[in-house]
Amino acid sequence: MVRGALRPKSNFLGRVELFSQGEFQLARREGRELDTATEVSIISHNEALRSDFRGFAGAGLFSEWLLAVVSFGNEPSGPVYRLTEQVFALLDSGAPPWPVICGGVVRLLHLSGHGFSTDTCVACGAEIKGSTSWSHSSGGVVCGKCGENGFPVKSGVISFLSRAGNSSLESLARVRLWPGGYIQCHLLLKEYAQVHLERRLLLKSEKVMKEILDAGH
């Protein structure tokens, strides 16, 4: 948020844009809630995130996740910054939004201390084979023996989530799921996050993303 950036006489007009990446010089004063931006140089314009509706909706949804999951203060977080940079760069290059968002959200949850298990049962530690149950409160997959606290989740969703923890976002962007697969995956992540953050997530862009999908894009 850069207050006043769009005022006609602002130094930042036309330089600070939604989803662009820049290096800012800030003046910080004791006791003030907001710093004063004095200079900016743009690193990436990410133009396609404002001109392509798929990229725009995707960048909006990931931003909403950031606002919901990350706690704000003056502490820098390099890993979250680099993740955001990567998600925006992929969306800007025209990568399919759903796998990028779902993969990015998995990373974001892990980075913010809300990681989950996808390979071994969270209750007994057994390796998961065959049909899979999931438990939000236990923190991931549960085996057949411990399954009474879980509910069934398609194995394709679990293998995507598992892959999201280990492979690059570039390679995740090429993973195709069945129609509606990413919607299920995103819903699982959202419900999981709601249990662990103990509040409802209002993700307005989710609806837009679904409408784009329904319209056949």
In the complex, minimum distance from the CB of residue 209 to Zn ion, in angstroms, rounded to a whole number: 34
Stretch that binds Zn ion, among 68-76, 109-117, 140-148, 205-213 (CB under 5 A): 140-148
In the complex, minimum distance from the CB of residue 133 to Zn ion, in angstroms, rounded to a whole number: 9
Q: Kindly tell me which of 11 and 120 has the beta carbon lying closer to Zn ion.
A: 120
CB 161 within 8 A of CB 106: yes
Q: Kindly tell me which of 121 and 209 has the beta carbon lying closer to Zn ion.
A: 121
In the complex, minimum distance from the CB of residue 145 to Zn ion, in angstroms, rounded to a whole number: 5
Stretch that binds Zn ion, among 33-41, 68-76, 123-131, 154-162 (CB under 5 A): 123-131
Residue 123 binding Zn ion, by CB under 5 A: yes
In the complex, minimum distance from the CB of residue 190 to Zn ion, in angstroms, rounded to a whole number: 25
Residue 124 binding Zn ion, by CB under 5 A: yes
Q: Which residues bind Zn ion (CB under 5 A)?
A: 121, 123-124, 126, 143, 146
